[in-house]
Amino acid sequence: MALYLREDFQQAWAGKDAFAEAAALTGETFRHKEGRRTLRFSLGGRRYFLKYHAGIGWGEVLKNLLQARAPVLGARNEYEASLRLAALGVDTLTPAAFGERGINPARRESFLITDDLADSVSLEDYCRDWPTRPPALHERRRLMRVVTGMVRTMHEAGINHRDCYLCHFLLYPDTLAQATIDSDVRCHLIDLHRAQIRDRVPRRWQVKDVAGLAYSAMDIGLSRRDWLRCLRAYAGVPLKTALGRDRAFWLAVKQRAEKLYRKDMKREPPPWL
């Protein structure tokens, strides 16, 4: 069994079974299926998010394996990924409580409670009107550098997200408007429950993350020059070097992103990379 309780939950749950307390929490429910329940709740005048895993069962485990997908067995991945990203200076979830018990992977019980990122907005929503109401040029470029830098840092640390889309980046807009340097911007990477942690991210998982992010940004009005700036920021080398040395990687990203776009949007993607 593993258990972590921050001081606020040590006090709130003193002398109680933390797993029973987590299972009994109620609030605004966002998901409740496949053995996982996600909700926002309040405790002691503060708001939190709960992800509670009751075990997905062997049927769901086998279904995922047959689809060549790694099943999500509990909250540990998200907990460990958030700690590692925070240690690297990447804004992400802040754990307030974590618990895991049980040997059977299909019936393992776990939970993760994080601080609520109140007043933040997903980049999917924030960028939605950019084609008709473009932001200030310096703000757009700063946000592009921040997001691509976050993904680059994540991959260099051996973490891949597996759901790397604009909707999973939560921005505090005021910090972007008032920023004088990139580190002033508060943009949090969330939904890490499918994250994988290794010594090094395999290329196919890098492609998946970068292509997912590119696909989700295809309709926000970025120019070809914007895309090339993102490419350079992610590669961390001059553009000419990145396009030469990593040509096969970026071709794979382009093909995967455009395939996703055609599948979901039922139309050809706009010109981009």
Helix/strand/coil (H/E/C) assignment for every residue in 177-216:
HHCCCHHHCCEEECCCCCCEECCCCCHHHHHHHHHHHHHH
State the Cα angle at 229 between 264 and 125, rounded to 5°.
45
226 counts as catalytic: no
Q: What are phi and psi of 181, to 5 degrees?
A: -135, 160
Q: What 3-state class would DSSP assign to 140?
A: helix
- Burial of 25: CB neighbours in 10 Å, binned 0-12, 13-18, 19+: middle
End-to-end CA distance of the chain: 48
In angstroms, the CA 37 to CA 53 distance is 7
How far is C-alpha 255 from the chain's CA centre? Answer: 22
Closest CA to 191 of 62, 35, 31: 31
8 token code pair: 């606020």
Q: What are phi and psi of 65, to 5 degrees?
A: -65, -40
Closest CA to 190 of 205, 170, 204: 170
Q: Which residue among the candidates 163, 182, 226, 246 is catalytic per the annotation? A: 163
- Cβ neighbors of 5 (< 8 A, separation 6 or more) are 13, 18, 97
202 token code pair: 């395999």
Q: Which residues are the active-site residues?
A: 163
